[in-house]
Structure 1
Amino acid sequence: MTEAEEILGADGIETLLALELAKHEFDSLHLPNLRLIRHFGVMLFCQQPAITARFYYGNDSLALGRLLLPVRGDVLDLCAGVGTQGLLCALTAQRVVSVEVQAEVAKLYAINSALNGLEEKMELRIGNLLEAVYDERFDRVCCNPPLLPVPHSLPYPPVGDGGEDGLTIIRRVVSHLSTLLTPTGSCQIIGTVVGNEAEAAFQELEDLAEDQELSIQLIVPWREQLEAQSPLVRSLALTISQYGNLPYEVALHELLASYQAMQVRYLYSFLLLAHRASARGEAGLVLTHHYLRGSSFWSV
């Protein structure tokens, strides 16, 4: 138990045991289905990688962690999960309000905020996205949403299902930024969107920028073809197969048929930075793409 006590402290271990998130096994502390990781200077508990994981941490979590700039003032952390991005914001922010739809994350969120000594700054609200923060404004909004393009007819874990084009949650957030942000506030989101070879389907975000009087910068580091041999498509089909108890070949066929019906051939990843136009230039969308320069899924 020496190593566990060194990292967690005696009080932390007792809390984990009391919440039934850990148990003693001989002389060891056993965390069923959980792992403790270091995330850009903070420690957090999350679930072991699995198709049905609800307490999620993945490459997109790392991507947003790299993006998040230090912020002072009040932060809104949407799709908060176990507090991954909220913890980083709380290092410099005055207050972090985290919103998550899954009530089950509350125990781990509380443990993670206390583990880093940030519990006085962090508040978790269980709710459906923006309903939990009605009529409040923030200096920073950050969001790591469900972002993968999954047809409505196919089953997929909610933590990754971004709807047919990948933008289901993102468009909801962007469409409310003008009322969520303070006059000098900013928003950071990561996401994916389908498109064709010439361009990604960003027209709706461009229209929202004009409508909401936002200045949006989109950085597109990566794209991949939506074809049968694509590692991404095969991974999506495998998850659909296992999550929905479908034959893999059926899942793959339905996935590709949906993309063909939508007349899309590529999936693009992007990083979104938004400000109110009155604070940072004219309303509109500026797009920079780097996928022809040897960049990776999230990194330029």
Structure 2
Amino acid sequence: MPRTLLRHCEESGLAALLGAYHRDSLRYAAVRAARPALGPRLRVIVDLLCLNESVPTTEAQAALGGSMEVLADAGLCRNDGSATVVPEHRLVDHYGQLLFVGPPAGQIGGYYGADSVGLGRQLLAARGNCLDLFASTGAQSLLMARGGGDVTSVELTSDLRPVAALNIAMHGLDDRVTTIWGDATTVSLPDRPFDTVCVNAPLFPNFGVDGLDTGANGGRHGHDLLQAVLPRVRLNTGGRLHSTATMVGDGDGPHTTWLADAARRNGWTFDVVVTGVGRLGEGSAFAKDLVTTLAETAGATTEDMAETLDRQWKESGVDRVFFCLLTARPAATSGVTVVSRYERGSGWWL
């Protein structure tokens, strides 16, 4: 039955539509703009599966038939009798594979953003024994499994279980993906080295402000979770670890002392690719948004939060946040190399 849903998406033209827009579909904009020119059936499917729009139940049944039962079994849709909606998930194309993820810029339902796309590009050649930490609804797990790997997928949010299971079943990869539901920093992992490891942890720095949503909280400097999981990973000779990261720093680049310590402990060398930068301090739109978010989190005024953060940034010599992709590999001499500083990029995307 899940494979039938995928067939409906392919036969209706939805797969081709999402594949054409790929990254643009992250923000709905391109798909929504194309909507008026779509045929009636495809328009209904797009509204239901991609745009979180309510559609008449009779039209949904006519467009997707028995696949509506698949959506209902996974808890994806709500039906009040006359209308049906998929309120908290959307279908995206991830390098040729359709899967359900959460809404744009949100944690509910399974995070998927531009960093997921950028990280996925690093995994297109993944083979062998693979590990996906902080897997969400399985975008990277499916990508690695499609390439022929046997994947161990680790995710904390057990509410995502039916959606992840549907994504795996749609592509017939049940025999290649084993999902562990638990905290990647503490749960038991397979006792073996891996050929490819993917880490897309919550990495946003909270600069010491308590209460930030766990779905976006990487600790004071943005790397708490990475520091916790890296010592738990073993790489085969020739293996690779690929990870997103936010790293605080200054005009000389990201501060990498913590990463150099991790490299020494594991016997790895790290390459760091900066894909974008957020400036801190007065006049920065990035800093203004950050101050507003942390003020709301802490129940403080934006004025007080701005003063607190500005003082902290100056004392610590930090004036920017770098968005990065990391690649680690076993090496005789450990170390960290910032191989590229594309600071005018759009964040995670390469």
TM-score normalised by L of structure 1:
0.85
Q: Which residue of 1 aligns with 2:255?
A: 201
Letter in 1 for 2:168: S
SS of equivalent residue, structure 2 residue 175: coil
What CA RMSD, in Å, does the superposition of the two structures yield over aligned residues? 2.8
Query: Which shifted more, 34-43 or 76-85?
Result: 34-43
Contact 2:277 2:345 (8 Å CA) reproduced: no
Letter in 2 for 1:147: L
Task: Give the 5 Å matches for 1:10-29.
Answer: 10=65, 12-24=67-79, 29=84
1:109 aligns with 2:164: yes
After TM superposition, give the deviation of residue 143 of structure 1 in Å: 0.8
- Could you give the per-residue CA deviations for residues 65-95 of structure 1, whole angstroms, max 9, x where no partner exists? 2222322211100011111211211111331
SS of equivalent residue, structure 2 residue 348: coil
Letter in 2 for 1:99: V
Q: Which residue of 2 aligns with 1:287?
A: 338
Query: Which shifted more, 258-267 or 105-114?
Result: 258-267
CA distance 1:105–1:247, change in 2 (3 Å): farther
Q: Which residue of 2 aligns with 1:139?
A: 195
C-alpha distance in structure 1 between counterparts of 2:105 and 2:346, whole Å? 23
Letter in 2 for 1:135: D
C-alpha distance in structure 1 between counterparts of 2:171 and 2:299, whole Å? 39
SS of equivalent residue, structure 2 residue 214: coil
Contact 2:137 2:163 (8 Å CA) reproduced: yes
Q: Which residue of 1 aligns with 2:214?
A: 158
CA distance 1:246–1:85, change in 2 (3 Å): farther
After TM superposition, give the deviation of residue 45 of structure 1 in Å: 1.5
- Could you give the per-residue CA deviations for residues 5-31 of structure 1, whole angstroms, max 9, x where no partner exists? 89x965543132134321335676410
Contact 2:271 2:337 (8 Å CA) reproduced: yes
Query: Which shifted more, 251-260 or 196-205?
Result: 251-260
Q: Which residue of 2 aligns with 1:211?
A: 265
CA distance 1:32–1:242, change in 2 (3 Å): farther
CA distance 1:247–1:75, change in 2 (3 Å): same
After TM superposition, give the deviation of residue 218 of structure 1 in Å: 1.5
After TM superposition, give the deviation of residue 175 of structure 1 in Å: 2.9
SS of equivalent residue, structure 1 residue 270: strand
Q: Which residue of 2 aligns with 1:237?
A: 291
User: Which entry has the higher C-alpha Rg, 1 or 2?
Assistant: 2
C-alpha distance in structure 2 between counterparts of 1:244 and 1:120, whole Å? 45
Q: Which residue of 2 aligns with 1:263?
A: 317
Letter in 2 for 1:152: G
Letter in 1 for 2:347: F
C-alpha distance in structure 2 between counterparts of 1:212 and 1:265, whole Å? 30
- Could you give the per-residue CA deviations for residues 244-291 of structure 1, whole angstroms, max 9, x where no partner exists? 55544444444434433433111112211111115xxx4322222323
Where structure 2 has 5 or more consecutive residues not aligned to the other structure, the ranges are 1-39, 46-59
C-alpha distance in structure 1 between counterparts of 2:148 and 2:180, whole Å? 18
Q: Which residue of 2 aligns with 1:148?
A: 204
- Could you give the per-residue CA deviations for residues 1-60 of structure 1, whole angstroms, max 9, x where no partner exists? 955489x96554313213432133567641022222222211121222366635211121
Identity %: 27
Query: Which shifted more, 204-213 or 74-83?
Result: 204-213
Contact 1:52 1:157 (8 Å CA) reproduced: no
Contact 2:103 2:109 (8 Å CA) reproduced: no
After TM superposition, give the deviation of residue 234 of structure 1 in Å: 2.7
Query: Which shifted more, 203-212 or 154-163?
Result: 203-212
Q: Which residue of 1 aligns with 2:137?
A: 82
Number of residue pairs the alignment of both structures matches: 293
Q: Which residue of 2 aligns with 1:32?
A: 87
Query: Which shifted more, 186-195 or 148-157?
Result: 148-157
Query: Which shifted more, 220-229 or 121-130?
Result: 220-229
Letter in 2 for 1:287: V
Q: Relative contact order: is structure 1 or structure 2 higher (C-alpha 8 Å, sep ≥ 6)?
A: 1
1:120 aligns with 2:175: yes
Contact 2:88 2:109 (8 Å CA) reproduced: no
Contact 1:51 1:157 (8 Å CA) reproduced: no
